[in-house]
Amino acid sequence: MSKSFAKRLGRELNDLQSNAPVGISIFQAEDFSLWLIDIRVMDDNPLYANKIFRLQFRFPKSYPIEAPEVKFIQSYGIEIPIHPHIYSNGHICLDVLGSGWSPVQTVSSVSMSLQSMLAGNNKNERPPDDSRYVANAPFSPKQTRFVYHDDNV
């Protein structure tokens, strides 16, 4: 593990522990390889009211130059949100997690982007190719070349 990798994640962890955005909290962050972050949608969107969703962040050794692997996971009563850009296996079609990644992004900013994406959704549906994608999906969403064609959701 490089010094800059550990230093950067250490700062991000301290910031999340002391100054997390509203509706975002650390569930688990025991090391610098995998974190679990819980998010809640903070507006009155009936699709997600009173629900908590869990994000899994896996950090490559080249973080923050390379994006982390981020996906929603199911865990003890926590479901994967239904959204036109979130597959039923938790993979997320969002450009900031792939080709739109920038090293200025943080765990906090990615979590807020996903929180905002959920808050703005009014469609209780999965992506149209959900069944086909999930049946053939790689383990890591970073191995998928998503086509970003719908910014309206």
Active site residues: 93
Q: 51: how many CB neighbours lie within 10 A of its CB?
A: 15
6 sits in which H/E element: helix 3-19
Q: How far is Cα 152 from Cα 85, in angstroms, rounded to an integer?
A: 11
What token pair was written down for 51? 């629900």
CA nearest to 62, candidates 138, 9, 140: 9
3-state secondary structure at position 38: strand
Neighbours of 12 (CB within 10 A): 21
CB 119 within 8 A of CB 82: no
Q: Are 106 and 12 in contact (CB under 8 A)?
A: yes
* Residue at 80: amino acid letter: I
